[in-house]
Structure 1
Amino acid sequence: MVCRLNMVTHQFVHDIFVEYSINWLARRENMFQERRNTIATLSAAAVVVSIGFASPVWAQQRVTIGTNQAGTFYNQIGGLMATLVQSKTGVQSTSRPFSGTSVYLPQLHRGEITFGINSALDSSNAYTGGGVYKQPLNHVRAALLVYRAPYGYFAKSSSGMKTIADLKGKKVIVTQRAIASFDKFNEAILATAGLTPADVSPVTVSGVVESVRSVTEDKVVAAPLLLGIPLLREADAAIPGGIRVLAFGPNDAKLDELRGITTMILKPAKPLVGVKEPTKVARFDVYLNTGSDISADTVYKVVKTVYENWGAMQKQMPPLRGVKPADLVPVRMSHPFHEGAVRYFREAGIWSDAHKAQQDALLAQMTK
């Protein structure tokens, strides 16, 4: 109704302007002001009526999911979830790409977007005000764990490099401004081979897309990236000889200090370009996040929709098949879950005393 009234208003003003002279309009300015005031009043009334008749269970009129740039795995997950939520609930839902996850975490905190996809590390740092976050973004909440992502450094196969130790003295991307919390992550990866940023020539780029381009254009020899994503597969196809994922060294101490991060042995598989042999890399938890100011009903409905259709999502996106339904609600959480998510978990019988203890401890951090 609001949109229809606005369209009528613009058409009316346009028709009057064409038909009469500027002087005529000037003499009747008061008349138009009265009409504009009347329309504004009607518009406000329409909003009140719309809110008054909204469903008490599903009041959210639009769901927006923040993601990384197009071509990234986060963007694919966000798009798939938006399609699922819209098809199952009828609520308009869309994914919105940003230059990086650190860009939209503050928007989640302020309730400016409904959901966003973030790593456990970035989420934990944002919630507590750690790392690059100078103030706690303590309204950030988890909705679901959605993926455990393999991550590591890649280089051109033609470079001859095979391990992280081979990066010593070379130009390497360490900082991605749009994924600010990953500085420490990348430094911890270097540390597995006994290296520090001082042992390489560290380079800063804007984000994921520039990281890939920097390797393909020989501006750097290696860059860190989520492995198996379409962007990396495109790079592998474009580079003569393809790419190679570099194996970590034996020292995991720095990685163990980071929340939501473990190591794994990645085996060669078709989507995992650059993995030439069983290769030690990192793995980090990825969450669908929201903000504490988003209504519990909205979060409940989205979590219920995703959880109950997880099998269908796995069929459409094979990398998700490694995440079992039980994994979607980890006990060792990096930041607290939203009350709407907890409500669904309790109803589904998947919220334990151990979950509650972790939740209470994380919430208590913000009351000290």
Structure 2
Amino acid sequence: MKGIKRIGMAAALALTAGGAMAAEGVDLPSTLVMTAYGTGSTGYTQMVAVGNLLQNEYDTAVRILPGENDVSRMTPLRTGRVPLCACGISSYFASEGVMMFSGPEWGPQPLRVITTSTASFGLGLAVAGDIDVDTPADLEGKRVAYIRGADAINLGTEAYLAFGGLTWDDVERVTYPGYGASFDGIIADRADASYASTTAPHVQRLAASPRGIVWPRLDPDDAEAWARLQSVAPYFQPAEITSAAGDYGPEQPWAGATYPYPILLGTPDLDDKTAYGLIKVMTEDHDRYKDAAPGNDGYALERQNMEWIIPFHDAVVRYYKEIGEWNDSMQAHQDGLVARQELLAETWQRYNAGDPPADAEAFREGWMKTRARALEASDMRVVFR
């Protein structure tokens, strides 16, 4: 994975794995509160497992506040009610001040990553197995689900279409009120494809249906196609997916894409001792919790992308430097991400000081144009318009 280099850390982690002692030099508060996805979700279950470790080894009680949508998970972090969020990819949208975070009550949020989980599952377009689709380009003219009010899902679909050189204009867009309904539509032969996690219950249902399931292959060596995909959704990264509904597995992985979930993050104001203690525990105690919940293997050091889309907390960078897992390229990338967040924050302040429209939709349109101009003037990628 981009940005990773190993410098002797494996031996240190092997000693930790032996269970002789917990990580040293950890100074965590007696209580940590965080938001996460709803109870029963992968993210919530993982944080429960981490909380058990922190309670048993470091006398830190973890309280998890489940949130049923992106705004409810991000609001307590923004207001300072909680210091941490085990969030999804919408945290990136929050950092950019786009989509559901482009309104006057939000705007770009200063966020800092502690760690992420990139497990064996992927995210992509699940396609009915009876229509002869091998790559995203083969979706031309096919019936592709569009989920009303689900910006992140629809953007993922758009990114996969872009990989194949397609847009929504090249497919038959079939609108559904929800993600689950779209898979009912595929099974009933009213649609052909919908965006999902490769292990979600709905894709398992499709795989077991008469239509079956395929995941269109993303050639990892097709640089132009990947550039098109990441111009729409830069958070995707190539991956060999070994957990996917259908005829896929360790012996026959899907050449696809993924991004981290959950993303454990805070703000720049998160106490340095807390941020440092958390990344130290999550890294050096990984063998103590990796089997306690599905997806916990994704927190392994070798699965961290050091040059992703949201900057790390300063204390996390300090830890990676101490263990020899940081270089000049990573620092330059980090500095660029921080500068981008600072530019967006300054642009937001100026926009609001300039008597923006009172109408919510007009406000959003004005902000997106102002935002794009500011990024272009600083030679930064716009992505969202």
TM-score normalised by the shorter chain: which range applies? 0.5 to 0.7
Could you say which residue in structure 1 is the equivalent of 2:197? Answer: 226
Q: Residue 310 of structure 1: CA displacement?
A: 1.5
Query: Residue 228 of structure 2 is aligned with which of 247, 254, 279?
Result: 254
Q: Residue 76 of structure 1: CA displacement?
A: 4.0
Could you say which residue in structure 2 is the equivalent of 1:111? Answer: 80
| 8 Å Cα contact 2:84-2:265 kept in structure 1 | yes
Cα distance change on mapping 1:129 and 1:159 into 2, 3 Å: same
Counterparts of 2:342 and 2:35 in 1: how far apart (Å)? Answer: 29
Q: Residue 206 of structure 1: CA displacement?
A: 6.5
One-letter amino acid of the structure 2 residue matched with residue 126 of structure 1? A
Could you say which residue in structure 2 is the equivalent of 1:40? Answer: none
Cα distance change on mapping 1:57 and 1:76 into 2, 3 Å: closer
Structure-to-structure mapping, 1:148-297, within 5 angstroms:
150-158=122-130, 161-175=133-147, 177-178=149-150, 180-203=151-174, 209=180, 212=183, 215-216=186-187, 220-229=191-200, 231-232=201-202, 234-235=204-205, 239-240=209-210, 242-248=212-218, 251-257=225-231, 258-266=233-241, 269=242, 271-276=243-248, 279-286=254-261, 287-297=263-273
Q: Residue 66 of structure 1: CA displacement?
A: 1.1
Counterparts of 2:172 and 2:39 in 1: how far apart (Å)? Answer: 29
One-letter amino acid of the structure 2 residue matched with residue 263 of structure 1? P
1:153 aligned counterpart, secondary structure: strand
Q: Residue 275 of structure 1: CA displacement?
A: 4.0
- TM-score norm. by structure 2 comes to 0.64
Between 314-323 and 338-347, the greater mean CA deviation after superposition: 314-323
- Which of the pair has the greater relative contact order for Cα pairs under 8 Å at 6+ separation? 2
Q: Residue 187 of structure 1: CA displacement?
A: 0.6
| 8 Å Cα contact 1:143-1:341 kept in structure 2 | yes
Could you say which residue in structure 2 is the equivalent of 1:10? Answer: none
Counterparts of 2:312 and 2:334 in 1: how far apart (Å)? Answer: 7
Could you say which residue in structure 2 is the equivalent of 1:363? Answer: 338
Cα-to-partner distance string for 1:259-290 (whole Å, 9 max, x where unaligned): 33233454xx5x42224565432222443222
Counterparts of 1:74 and 1:206 in 2: how far apart (Å)? Answer: 24
1:303 aligned counterpart, secondary structure: helix
Could you say which residue in structure 1 is the equivalent of 2:101? Answer: 133
Structure-to-structure mapping, 1:294-313, within 5 angstroms:
294-313=270-289
Cα-to-partner distance string for 1:310-362 (whole Å, 9 max, x where unaligned): 2233334575546641443x331312222343444345443444443333332
Counterparts of 1:173 and 1:128 in 2: how far apart (Å)? Answer: 26
Could you say which residue in structure 1 is the equivalent of 2:366? Answer: none
One-letter amino acid of the structure 1 residue matched with residue 158 of structure 2? E
Counterparts of 1:172 and 1:310 in 2: how far apart (Å)? Answer: 40
Aligned-residue CA RMSD in angstroms? Answer: 3.7
Say how many residue pairs are matched. 305
| 8 Å Cα contact 1:63-1:82 kept in structure 2 | no
Cα-to-partner distance string for 1:163-220 (whole Å, 9 max, x where unaligned): 4345444442244745x34433321201222321122333455665555555456564
Cα-to-partner distance string for 1:9-30 (whole Å, 9 max, x where unaligned): xxxxxxxxxxxxxxxxxxxxxx
One-letter amino acid of the structure 1 residue matched with residue 277 of structure 2? K
Q: Which runs of 5+ in 1 are unaligned?
A: 1-55
One-letter amino acid of the structure 2 residue matched with residue 155 of structure 1? V
Query: Residue 311 of structure 2 is aligned with which of 326, 336, 354?
Result: 336
Counterparts of 2:176 and 2:72 in 1: how far apart (Å)? Answer: 15
| 8 Å Cα contact 2:196-2:203 kept in structure 1 | no
| 8 Å Cα contact 2:51-2:62 kept in structure 1 | yes
One-letter amino acid of the structure 2 residue matched with residue 313 of structure 1? Y
Counterparts of 2:227 and 2:36 in 1: how far apart (Å)? Answer: 32
Cα distance change on mapping 1:211 and 1:354 into 2, 3 Å: same
Counterparts of 1:71 and 1:155 in 2: how far apart (Å)? Answer: 26
| 8 Å Cα contact 1:307-1:325 kept in structure 2 | yes
**Corresponding position: 1:77 with 2:46:** yes
- TM-score norm. by structure 1 comes to 0.67
Structure with greater helix share of residues: 1
One-letter amino acid of the structure 1 residue matched with residue 129 of structure 2? S
Q: Which runs of 5+ in 2 are unaligned?
A: 1-25, 344-385
Between 200-209 and 142-151, the greater mean CA deviation after superposition: 200-209
Query: Residue 61 of structure 1 is aligned with which of 31, 51, 59?
Result: 31
Radius of gyration: which is bigger? Answer: 1
Counterparts of 2:59 and 2:184 in 1: how far apart (Å)? Answer: 39
Counterparts of 2:54 and 2:203 in 1: how far apart (Å)? Answer: 28
Cα distance change on mapping 1:95 and 1:164 into 2, 3 Å: farther
Counterparts of 1:72 and 1:219 in 2: how far apart (Å)? Answer: 29
Cα distance change on mapping 1:234 and 1:274 into 2, 3 Å: closer
Counterparts of 1:168 and 1:274 in 2: how far apart (Å)? Answer: 22
